[in-house]
Amino acid sequence: MSVRTKAHPLEDATEPDLLEEVFDYGLPPLIRFEGPCVEHIDGKAVEFDPRSVETRDVFITDTTFRDGQQARPPYTVDQMVHIYDLMAKLGGSHGVIRQSEFFLYTKNDREALDRCRALGHKYPECTGWIRAVKGDFRLVTEAGVKETGMLTSCSDYHIFNKQKFKSRKECMESYCEVVAAAFEAGVRPRCHLEDVTRADIDGFVLPFIDRVMDMGSHVPEHLKPKIRLCDTMGFGLSFPSASLPRSIPKLIYKVNHECGVPSSRLEWHGHNDFHKVHVNGATAWIYGCDAVNATLFGFGERTGNPPLEAAIFEYIALKGRLCGVETTVITQLADYMRSIGAPIPANYPFVGRAFNVTSAGIHAGGLRQDERIYNIFDTRKLLGRPPRVNITDKSGVDGVALWVNDFLGLSGDQRVNKIKCHKVARWVMDQYEVHGRLTAISDQEMEAKLKELMPDYYEKRKKS
């Protein structure tokens, strides 16, 4: 049986304390840490200070056109250029979205890369992606990119069972040849350690990184190698005390502090096979990766990658300010994606059709009194999407009144009270109780009823 160890007397109040230092309605809820977190690594207590994220130059890298395209039919060149242009606007001039990677294999890949670069945006910087084979490196030099990712798969599943290397040593030598080729060509190599959360960390991953870091010790700063930790199957764990190879904190610590890869050259790439993708990316930021690799709306191989738009909101929440990010562009990107046939589920956070739409009358009642009660943040300001109500049998008079005011564009003292909406509310209820309707009522139907049953208000709106 549990025993109470501390009394908690009521702190009475007659005014609400809305905790606005965290829940500033004009921003996503801020993430505040109270002190360091501790991991036990190789028998030693290691402290991480999550508050460092506020001052470190953490950022997002994009792989919408690489991993994101592996899960869907190819984008046309025009589509890629438009998406890239919007991403540049979204990430702002400080480069919150710092880089975007492109395939270099087809004529279309190269044309898209050229046209995106021709837009002249400083960010996202365009980088390449190749397999770690020397033959592919020719593509990088021809494309003239300054940095390329290269697939350096590191679990024995890949080394032996996929790539058929005879030994880890042979594999490492092969990868290092391509890293050397990158240096020779004046291109920064970014080693993508595929399947790292299922790899032998001490036996292969760290020795390989040591070798790459040694190779990079003699090259100028702009060519220093980067390390991307790829949680290819979504096995990574953010939980304290989880063991390697799945522990994200331990993995980052070893690469960061034992191998000496600086945070600025360390990146996390996740997959969503276990629904952990977003929080794993944020965990990587907190424990020392400056870069989190993401795709728009999480489109990516199988279950997808960290959703870029979620990383944007996490970034703002961790930093406590917008940092030049134009969040409303997220809505433009979602509309564009839908227009080119990329489905986004209705309940998908931030951009789904219903992400801030309530069908419950009791929630609509709360929204009507103070939209902060049931809206995550000022979605009108940050996403151009005010909270809305979906009219069903559960909407009640509150829901109908909310819909009417939303449609009429009325707020504050101008709002129509629910008494004035009673005829429309009756019509809605009769749809279900009398006529046995089983579907939601569309905005078009509601507008028609508003015109019929509240003509004065409808006309006023039309005139304004």
Partner 1 sequence: MATVEERVKTVVARVLQVDRARIKDEHSFTSDLGAQSVQSVELVAAFEEEFGVELDEDAALSVQTVGGAVEFLAKVCQEQGAKT
* Interface residues toward partner 1, by CB under 8 A: 361, 396-397, 417-422, 425-426, 429
Residue ranges with strand state E in 288-398: 291-294, 357-358, 388-389
Q: State in angstroms the smallest separation of the CB of 437 from partner 1.
A: 15
Q: State in angstroms the smallest separation of the CB of 400 from partner 1.
A: 9
Complex with partner 1: residue 422 or 461, whichever CB lies closer: 422
Complex with partner 1: residue 312 or 421, whichever CB lies closer: 421
Q: State in angstroms the smallest separation of the CB of 421 from partner 1.
A: 8
Complex with partner 1: residue 304 or 361, whichever CB lies closer: 361
Q: Do the Cβ atoms of 393 and 427 come closer than 8 Å?
A: no
Q: Do the Cβ atoms of 298 and 343 come closer than 8 Å?
A: no
Render the burial of 292-302: b for 16+ CB within 10 Å, e for the rest. Answer: bbbbbbbbbbe
Rounded to a whole number, what is the largest CA-CA distance in the chain? 81
Q: State in angstroms the smallest separation of the CB of 279 from partner 1.
A: 39
Complex with partner 1: residue 84 or 457, whichever CB lies closer: 457
- Amino acid at site 121: H
Q: State in angstroms the smallest separation of the CB of 356 from partner 1.
A: 23
Q: Do the Cβ atoms of 286 and 245 come closer than 8 Å?
A: no
Local structure of 268: helix, strand or coil: strand
Complex with partner 1: residue 168 or 415, whichever CB lies closer: 415
Per-residue DSSP letters for 120-183?
A: --SSSEEEEEEES-HHHHHHHHHHT-SEEEEE---SHIIIIIIT--SSHHHHHHHHHHHHHHHH
| Pairwise CA distance, residues 293 & 230, whole Å | 9
Q: State in angstroms the smallest separation of the CB of 77 from partner 1.
A: 55
Complex with partner 1: residue 301 or 406, whichever CB lies closer: 406
